Every structure is written in structure tokens, then in C-alpha cells.
Structure 1
Amino acid sequence: MMRPVILCALALCLLLIPAFQAAAQDRGPVTNLPLPRFVSMKAAEGNVRRGPSLTHQIDWIFKRRDAPLIITAEHGHWRRVEDRDGVGGWVHYSLLSGTRTAIVEHDMLDLLARPTEGALVVARLELGVIARLEQCESEWCRMNAGGFRGWARKDALWGIGPDEVFD
């Protein structure tokens, strides 16, 4: 009578192994932080290489401090990143910051005093402006851009996941 129970438990374990492997693959092998994840450029310039070492060719140079990037892979001290246009490569981790920023994706985006439609407009942000994220809720992010602080709709920004929230 014990054999069917053992066989069922074994079958259940075999079914769950792929789920555990997928969960393990969602974490970076070096940092154990989630992949993909957003970061920003700490440096004013950063070489983007074809592979994770100084011997790999430099394909281009990121030249925008605080630009949001998404990390898609890790290898030693190197991170594979992409910008909002999907352009990417390998950069040294020392060029990156955990400080969260976002790029405005809609021209003349209203920065509001409160996270509600119709709230007082604090400023209007041009397409491509980089803002520092302070807090993100389900639909809104509180941010600071050029000395102006307020709330913007999350779907008008690149640098924050649609389901991501933080304080």
C-alpha cells in the first residue's frame, strides 16, 4: 500500500523540478539578484563590449550618466545590459548603479502633485528626460526630474517593470 504513495510523491517531484530550475534561472549566478532587473549608468561614459572581459572588442560607448539599463545576464564582474532601444553588450559592474532612473517615453508628460488623474501639474517633461525614481506603485511612480518632484504614470516611462513596485 505504501508503493503508490511513494510513486505519487516521486512523480510530483519530477513534475516540480522544471519549475525549480526556472526559478533558479531567474536569478543572477553571481549576485543572486533577479534577472532581468533595472539599474542605471553610474559613470558618464562606459565601454560596451562584445563579451565579458577586457579582451573583447568595444562595440560602442554609453555616454549618458543615470541612463536606465536592464541587466539580462551576469558573468564574474561583468553584466550584460540593454538600453531602451534594445542596444546592449557587456559592461563592468563598477559602471552601474542600483539607483533607479527612468526615461520619459511620452513628450510633455505631466508630472503631478498626487498619483491621480486631474491632480495639479507640477511640471511637464519632454520625451527622453531622465528622472530619478523614488517610489513606484501599481500605476504611478514618484520621481525627481530637474529639481521637480511629482508623480507620473508608470506606462509613460522606460526603466520600471509593469508589475514592479517599491518604496
Structure 2
Amino acid sequence: MGIGLTRRTASLVGATLGFLLAASAVPSAGAERQTPSGLPVPRYVSLKFDRVNARAGPGDDHRLLWVYTVKGLPVQVVAETSEWRRVCDPQGGLVWVHKRTTDGRRMVMNTREARVTLLRRPKPDAKPAAFLNSRALAALDRCEKGWCRVKADGVSGWAREGDLWGTAEAPQCH
């Protein structure tokens, strides 16, 4: 099941309040192949609206599986048609969403139970700058040498690349 199911709205929205920020697009590296958009697959995008229909196939005539209710939720595009994107969400849900419901801005999510410490510099012994709570979103600024700089609530900091969902280049759903 995907994150942001209608019956789980309250816990997700409450967990992500105050952590939604915009970020500039960060291109995804990896094996590129020809796609209808001309963009590489896989790549990360975020959901543009607080209500996005998740469908079983690429079209409005396909069964509605659930509704995402978290604007800015990071998802990974793993396939596409000219109008639809097959996306993987942080809980492993694999669905189709219309391209107009996605945004190229990169977001990340703390999918761990514990909060993630954001450091002032990309070094293990750096002082903490802030903490990213479980299920919270942050805008991705950039990743380099195994560290990612993120921004949330006007504060930026560095986290190890593997500590946040939305940074791995490999496909996240199988």
C-alpha cells in the first residue's frame, strides 16, 4: 500500500506539517534511455498537490487504488508514457499518476522511526544544525560524496545519503 492513503491522512499530515519546502531541481544521474519526456528513468519528483490519485494503470479508466494526501511527497519515476508516470513511493507502493500532478522539485523523507540529525557540515563529527523527525519532509539541495544537504523550516543541514528516502539512484521498488 502507498503512503498517504485516505485512511492514513491524519497521521501523515500531522507528521509532515512544517517541513514542506521547495527546492531547485537536482538532476538524477544514472543510465539514461529514451523516454517520452526526454528525462532519465529512474528519477525523483515530488507530488504537486495534496490530493493525487494513484491508479493501477496509465489512464483515468484504470482502477483508483488510493489517494495520496501529502503535497511534496517524494516519489521515484520508474516508467512513463507521454501523459502518465509510474512512481514508487516511500512505502514501496508502485502506481501510476498523471504527469500534471508531479513537480520536478526534489524532496526527501525521513522514513526511519528515529529522527535524523542534520549536521552543519558533511562530516560525522560536525555539530548538529537541526533534527528531521520521523516521516518529515525536507527539500533536497544537493548530494556529494555520500552526504546530502537538505532544508526544512528555514534551516539547512547535512545528512548521510542513506539516511533519507529520495536520494538513492537505484530503483526503489521492484
Range of TM-score over shorter length? 0.7 to 0.9
TM-superposition CA deviations, 1:8-35 (whole Å, max 9, x none)? xxxxxxxxxxxxxxx6xx5252012211
Q: Kindly provide the amino acid, as one letter, of the partner of residue 77 in structure 1.
A: E
Letter paired with 1:153: R
Paired residue for 1:105? 111
Matched, 1:58 2:64: yes
Higher helix proportion (structure 1 or 2):
1
- Aligned in 2, Cα 1:162/1:53: closer, same or farther, shift over 3 Å? closer
Q: Does 1:161 align with 2:168?
A: yes
Bigger CA drift: 75-84 or 28-37?
28-37
Q: Indicate the residue corresponding to 2:6 in structure 1.
A: none
**Partner AA of 2:50 in structure 1:** A
Cα deviation code 1:81-104 (max 9, x no counterpart):
110111121111011011001111
Q: Is the 8 A contact 1:154 1:160 kept in 2?
A: yes
Sequence identity percentage = 37
Aligned to 1:73: 79
Matched, 1:140 2:153: no
Could you tell me how far apart the structure 1 residues matched to 2:59 and 2:132 are?
Answer: 38
Contact 1:36–1:72 (Cα < 8 Å) also in 2:
yes
Does the CA-based 8 Å contact 1:28-1:74 persist in structure 2?
A: no
**TM-score (normalised: structure 2):** 0.75
Q: Is the 8 A contact 1:39 1:69 kept in 2?
A: yes
TM-score between both structures, scaled by the size of structure 1: 0.78
Q: For residue 147 of structure 1, what is the amino acid of its counterpart?
A: G
Larger Cα-atom Rg = 1
CA contact 2:43–2:169 (8 Å) conserved in 1: no
C-alpha RMSD of the superposition: 1.6
Structure 1: runs of 5+ lacking an equivalent = 1-22
List gaps (5 residues or longer) in structure 2. Answer: 1-30
The CA deviation at 1:69 is: 0.3
